[in-house]
């Protein structure tokens, strides 16, 4: 979006970090639980999901959707907070569409 060239090595490094974070989230924070704190949604869930769904904007949401546990957690947070969740996604959805349009990706 800035017009500057993309540092592919930095992108690769960040993808690896996200992949590790998703694995940690699955194996430690969500292990056997619907939400981070147990059976009820908390601010930890809202903050965590808000960070992850930003990846949707640049078509990298597959980094967390590969994990069925993390994907289910994101879906649970969406379900618990809708319609407000979808309202909060307007800008990210717009960025997602912009990247789609500019890059020609589908």
23-81 pLDDT per residue, tens: 999 999 999 999 999 999 999 999 999 999 999 998 999 999 999 999 999 999 999 99
For residue 7, give both structure tokens.
Answer: 């540092």
- State yes or no: pLDDT of 18 exceeds 50: yes
Region of residue 35 (phi > 0: left; psi between -120 and 50: alpha; otherwise: beta): beta
Task: Decide if 26 contacts 70 (C-beta within 8 A).
Answer: yes
Domain assignment present for 48: yes
pLDDT of 106: 45
Domain assignment present for 71: yes
Total domains in the fold of the chain = 1
Domain assignment present for 98: yes
CA nearest to 69, candidates 32, 42, 15, 21: 32
Domain assignment present for 11: no
Domain assignment present for 22: no
pLDDT of 22: 97
Domain assignment present for 57: yes
**Domain coverage including residue 44:** 31-103
Domain assignment present for 37: yes
CA nearest to 95, candidates 59, 47, 51: 59
Task: Decide if 67 contacts 22 (C-beta within 8 A).
Answer: yes
Domain assignment present for 50: yes
């Amino acid at each position: 979006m800035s017009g500057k060239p993309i540092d592919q090595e930095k992108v690769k490094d960040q993808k690896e970090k996200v992949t590790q974070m998703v694995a940690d989230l699955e194996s430690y924070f969500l292990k056997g639980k619907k939400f981070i704190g147990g059976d009820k949604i908390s601010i930890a869930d809202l903050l965590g999901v808000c960070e992850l769904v930003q990846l949707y904007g640049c078509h990298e949401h597959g980094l967390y959707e590969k994990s069925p546990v993390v994907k289910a957690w994101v879906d649970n947070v969406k379900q618990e907070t809708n319609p407000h969740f979808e309202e909060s996604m307007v800008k990210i959805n717009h960025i997602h569409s912009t990247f789609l349009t500019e890059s020609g990706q589908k």
